[in-house]
Structure 1
Amino acid sequence: MKVLISVDAEGLQGITFGTQVLPGLGLYQEGRDAMTDSINAVAAGAFKGGATSVTVVDSHDGNRNIPASKIMREATLISGWPKELSMVEGARDADILFMIGYHSRAGTLNGVLDHTYSTNVHRLWINGIETGEIGLSAAVAGKLGVRVGLVAGDAAAVGEAREIFKDCEFAVLKNGLSRYSANSLSSEKALDLLKTSAEKAVKHHGSLYKVKEPVKVSVEFQNSGMADNCMLLPDAVRKDAYTVEIEGNDMINAYKLFRVLVSLSSFYHGDY
């Protein structure tokens, strides 16, 4: 059983504010430590459960948060940007996907640091279904035949995942009280939970999440200027001032087109 661990930061224990997860800011080391400690606990549990290999893909903000010198000896680390499959790079050589430290989609009540891939995105729909990073990662993995075996994050993220996956392990690391506050497990207890959940998850069949193709992607941005710039992409359709729609012939193509839209929305606009 080859395990791919996709690790984000915002859903991890003790994380409630941007300064903990953004490179260069004052508490950033806390986020790095939480990511590293968490993936090591998950990897240890996965190997104990019978995994034959464990690959970690750094899936948070620039994807250069976890030092290779700090991961367990038996695991491998995918880091850096850009990567073709972004948050699930490595899925082509995996049997099962674990999503660790994931957060809820943008606009979720009491979702800690909720957003969808970029703070530029207000809402995202895949074939008319509102989707966050959990659904996106699962759909890309599903296209490649990779099942989801474990989702760990804040209570809102796990609640979102439970609506999608049936045969899956879930680990709640904290309960959000607002976007910027939470009641969190201690690091020690969270790491124990991650290790035991990973051990169990390897023994699960897992949930395969597939979407109907071709895939229609609709993105509502935070302001109209972001949507304006996305119209540079051929075949993009303007639905209203904030929303752009485009179609991919399959889920991987649709994922790439979504990420192109996000990149186009990220131009400098004078902080206005």
Structure 2
Amino acid sequence: MKVFISADIEGTAGIATWSEADRDHADYPQFRDLMTAEVVAACEGARAAGATEVVVKDAHDSGRNLMIGRLPDYVRVIRNWSGHPESMMFGLGSDFAAAIYTGYHSKAGTETNPLAHTSTLRISRLILNGEVASEFTVNALSAARHGVPSAFIAGDAGICADARAMVPGIGTVETLEGFGPATISLSPARAQAAIRQGVEAALRGDLSGRLPKRADHYEVVVEYVNPVDAYRASWYPGARKHGPRAVAFEAAEFFEIQRALRFMNS
């Protein structure tokens, strides 16, 4: 059994400020360590459930955050960014049994994590087929495009609630909840133990229903903070202006949405 893990940091237990996610700040090393520990816990849970190979995509910022010397020997790790439209899910294929998400965070425009955002801080909201979308929304649909179920997610309370609504039966561990600029969090040790147990339980369960519903047609609307970014994105082939700070794009295939986002948000 092959398992794919997409690892972010802004939903890691204990995190509360942007400095803790910034590789150029003195606060970062501690949370790089905690991000790695949560990934290792997920790997151990997958192994206990029978995984023979685990592929981890380092999916935060530089793509070079995980302390790779601490990863188990059955893990392959994808670092940095290839430029492929699948972005945080790059490396996933139809031969994987499940996708797992660690360190995930709430979508832009919500209050359940002071670090809530979607892809970049230049975006105020990402709307997919009329619903405000998160990075998990896009990534779970990316996995579904390969026929891969989304089995488990660890992150803040907001993204876990969104994940349960989108993928009924998905395993979740709520690491923290935001209150304005503050967070109330599990202790890292408690979160890591829960992630290990949660991943194992999720992978031992029935994964057949853990695929989000796919549509026959997709429209994505990207609302930017700055109208300058909207103007620039409007030049992507097929994109159109959608108000003073927004750009829309439509396609029948979800991969075309991913391709558009790859260039419109760069």
TM over 0.5: yes
**Is the contact between residue 11 and residue 103 of structure 2 (CA under 8 Å) also seen in structure 1?**
yes
Is 1:252 paired with 2:255?
Answer: yes
Give me the CA root mean square deviation: 1.3
CA contact (8 A) 2:163 2:170 kept: no
Deviation at 1:40, TM superposition (A): 0.5
Supply the distance in 2 between the matched residues of 1:246 and 1:124 (Cα, whole angstroms).
12
Q: Distance in 2 between matches of 1:26 and 1:67?
A: 16
The answer for the alignment partner of 2:89 in structure 1 is 88
Q: CA deviation at 1:159?
A: 1.3
Q: d(CA) in 2 for partners of 1:107 and 1:229?
A: 22
Q: How does 1:34-113 map to 2 (within 5 A)?
A: 34-84=34-84, 85-92=86-93, 93-113=95-115
In 2, distance between residues paired with 1:249 and 1:53?
Answer: 33
One-letter identity of the residue aligned with 1:104: S
Between the aligned partners of 1:83 and 1:196, the Cα distance in structure 2 is 34
Alignment partner, residue 239 of structure 1 = 242
Please, which runs of 5 or more residues in structure 2 have no aligned partner? none
Distance across 1 between alignment mates of 2:153 and 2:194 = 12
Gap change, CA 1:260 and 1:136, over 3 Å in 2? same
What is the identity, as a one-letter code, of the residue corresponding to 1:212? A
Contact 1:151 1:171 in 2 (8 A): yes
Q: List alignment gaps of at least 5 residues for structure 1.
A: 264-272
Residue 213 of structure 1 is aligned with which of 209, 216, 219? 216
Residue 142 of structure 1 corresponds to 144
Once residues 83 and 95 of structure 1 are traced to their aligned partners in structure 2, the CA distance between those partners, rounded to angstroms, is 25
Deviations 1:75-123 (A, max 9, x none): 1111111342211112214220111110010111232310011111111
Shift of 1:32: 1.0
Instruction: State the 1:234 CA deviation.
Output: 2.2
The question of 1:262 aligning with 2:265 is answered yes
Q: Secondary structure at the match of 1:156?
A: helix
Secondary structure at the aligned position of 1:91 is classed as coil
Aligned equivalents of 2:92, 2:213: Cα separation in 1: 14
1:174 deviates by 1.4
Number of the residue aligned with 2:19: 19
For residues 9-43 of structure 1, what are the alpha-carbon distances to aligned partners after superposition, in whole Å with 9 as ceiling and x for unaligned?
Answer: 00010111111111211211122111111111110
Q: Which amino acid aligns with 1:127?
A: N
Cα distance in 2 for residues equivalent to 1:96 and 1:112: 29
Tell me the percent identity: 30
Runs of 4+ in 1 over 4 A off after TM superposition: none
Task: Supply the distance in 2 between the matched residues of 1:32 and 1:20 (Cα, whole angstroms).
Answer: 8
Structure-2 residue corresponding to 1:2: 2
Take 1:249 and 1:154, find their aligned partners in 2: how far apart are those partners?
32
Task: Read off the aligned partner of 1:87 and give its amino acid letter.
Answer: M
Matched to 1:61, the amino acid is: D
Q: Does the 8 Å contact 1:141/1:147 carry over to 2?
A: yes
1:175 aligns with 2:170: no
Report the TM-score when normalising by structure 2: 0.94
**Aligned equivalents of 1:205, 1:237: Cα separation in 2:** 42
Contact 1:121 1:220 in 2 (8 A): yes
CA distance in 2, matches of 1:90, 1:59: 12
Q: 1:185 aligns to what?
A: 186
